[in-house]
Structure 1
């Protein structure tokens, strides 16, 4: 290793490995013991992390012969380092803080999003493994020339890596802000060599496409103040030439390093100057800690930009995840509707995939028999109520004629005297008349949209006393919908944990279906999704109404899922009506609650509430 901390390619072997280190690095197929970490011990997790990092290295560096070690502390003393002679890469486990070792899964693509700084250090060393193929002469090791060459290699390797994998830019930026720069902000920097070193690490990364020009502007201004514009331009020409140098061109990189020393007036064959101790062709030049302050401002600019970009990425990922979840829910709803409303289908059990498969010898759960007890002919009062409700629904869905007003220079229309006088005045003045004195009102008939009515009936055990009014109300709603318009459709689902189709979309019920309410659980969320998929309740262009008959006694999870589905429909313009037949109901928002204490008055009350909901929701 060079004496400076910015060089991460070490041609000097690290201290000898201990017996434990050798055991952890031994391959499984060479006869050595297989390392089996205990999941509860943090220290034993790092060999697994090392192995998983090693598994990801080929995609970054294109090499499969590099051994990766990750442990608290490194043998080189740097946060990360690459040893070409040993084909070994090491990275300090502290870079992964605050994530515990057991949670770090580099083998899982995308896990690196949680620790971009550590992954950036890994990507940086992978860039060295892929592109740092040249080697300076042994007699020049530890000299100023060696220090300059290693400085130039930092941005050259990253530029070459970025040409192959441009998406790794964000990780290399995180590496700069958390690994490279803290070393400069922790000490006083005020010499020409210090300024050239900072420029070679930061401004060179700007020209490599890793940092942005506005981020490093404070450092560039201070570098010009310490070095001069001409010297900085000469150094920039050198690092740009290094970026174009081949991976194996040791002669070219040595020449670039020698030119670097000549521009700064440094002795190439002497040890490199210590930070803040002078160097180059003169003593410290003004500014005190101004260079370190410029580096700090640069760090702040990069960190601020990274936070903003991270917020944008997070919002984009949330939107993508939301769209994916909505697409998956839509697909699942369509499949559920297909299975529920298939003619002759029995009760549908949602989330069947979450049920563990039956093992041999295990008793199979009983098949749900469904809530349908019997069917009967509708009573005369129910038929009359259906007719009355149909008229009320048709009136609620009625749209007034569209009114269109237009203005013209000639009849027909109502004459506006102010406009007529203005037109005469324009004509008298010799101007082209532009006033329009006649106003015409045209009324155009608009079509009354069809109705889409979804009905969900709770048949869990707590609804046992309300089965009769529920059956009557479900039939009246379905029949009335069919009577309003030939294009109107309705469907009814009875739900507990299972879902059963009572009436199918587009089919008017001839008989009243009576229920047995003795089920367990509530799958109202799936029922809402299935009704939406079958009737397009979330799609504009029709009068849409969802009617839920239930007491609302759900578990918190069931209530939250159902309320989320109902809220989505409400936001899409679908009217929601909650019918409760219990004296102490718990309707879910945002539905319009209708408590029916007297089943005899249910028909009239349902009609009023349904028409009100349709009228106020258009």
Structure 2
């Protein structure tokens, strides 16, 4: 008995890039791009051979995203039956869905413009760093797109997670680290999934260079979308870590020179295109920073997923394709195990959210412990006061200060108020408001004997929305140079405490002062009857303790609602690294840090909203606007 094997039938569209099915899929992909990016001017091109790279690419000048379905869609499905807008189709083709999200992230957040004088190596690595940065920005605003980004990333970069070349150069190792470990730092994949690659990179480039690279990732996600100078600075640092002298990027130099001359200038969305310094926005490619400009490294090593010998595509005649290598089999098994564990973890987390089960995970609690310790030191329990090393005079509030408190109360109450939530539903039976058109339609359906689908009544349900809670911490520098500001800041601090702690707002305020160490000014939850006015003098190293004390006393990082910390200082501070660490601890938890500096050239930490406070009288309005904005967005 003989058996015949029927070859798999291939859709005609796969042999004809101009087939109408590709035009249909391109149109639907463009609609999905618009949905994810928030832009309505994007064009999608989907057909075999559309991009120059192996997977996908975005060209800012044309607002055009091009996709290679031959590498993103498995088993050559009929493109006429694929709709990226449909959730089920995205589940069937997750790598393609992730590619769309990635290019939409470029369209929404890539605003880089390079100039003719820029270092080619810095430009190359800045483009590489842009890949994890824009994905981090996307999941910040659209966390539901994270599974698609993970799918496309693993489709292209999966082998890099489990198997690496032991003889890899620092340049190749750093390239893989930027594309994979950068995504882990940005929250697209977990640190556990990238652990094997992290150990390999640390072995290749050394512990010190590896720690420097992790610092680059930390600073990367704090940059603004259009901060080209910041990206170039980080790119130069990565080039130094990778021991890259920039000699291999001739086409980068050519592109920058062409941009300076005007022939290759590309206008990024929201930018003015070519400027007087020869700016050129370089197209970037999904999903792993495949080279949109620049030559392959001279040593022949390729970044994973660049469509050449690296990444997910094995070359003919290699062990990875022949299947004769135990290492390749082990890598595949390891990758499968990682993916299964990741899918299981995602499913369990989703189930826990639905039933509201809290699972305590192992994490670094050093900041929380430091906050509790600082709060116990600065704000002792039992309602007492710490042994103050800062003199404070309690003054009776003036009529102007009372008026300021009432004004703040009205503004914050208006921002905090939430109207009732109204939902209008169409129903098939009363009670409700009749809709005549639907009544006629219902009568017609009854007369025709068809299924009744008309819903002739509308019903409105109302639900009272709880106002968001408000927590405000005030941290005041009382070193000698701050003396001119004491009265104005103390006055506004009292007005804030009086307004926020009122029964109408039911908020909580605490205030600290610091010179060489932190001391209490207004205890948490208290509504002071008198205005506490500190006397300036002493050093200026107590800011970190003050911030941690406010966190521990007000429970800022572990609570919800509107949470604001206001810092007033001249910015002449000796322990900036410690202050940056405390500020990052707050901002990562969603606390808004308003940093008011009384000297124009004073220092302010990254992640905080820094304002120059030229006039003490502006302190009240500035803080009021910041609190109102935090309440409105809570």
When the two structures are superposed, what TM-score results if normalisation uses the length of structure 2? 0.42
When the two structures are superposed, what TM-score results if normalisation uses the length of structure 1? 0.43
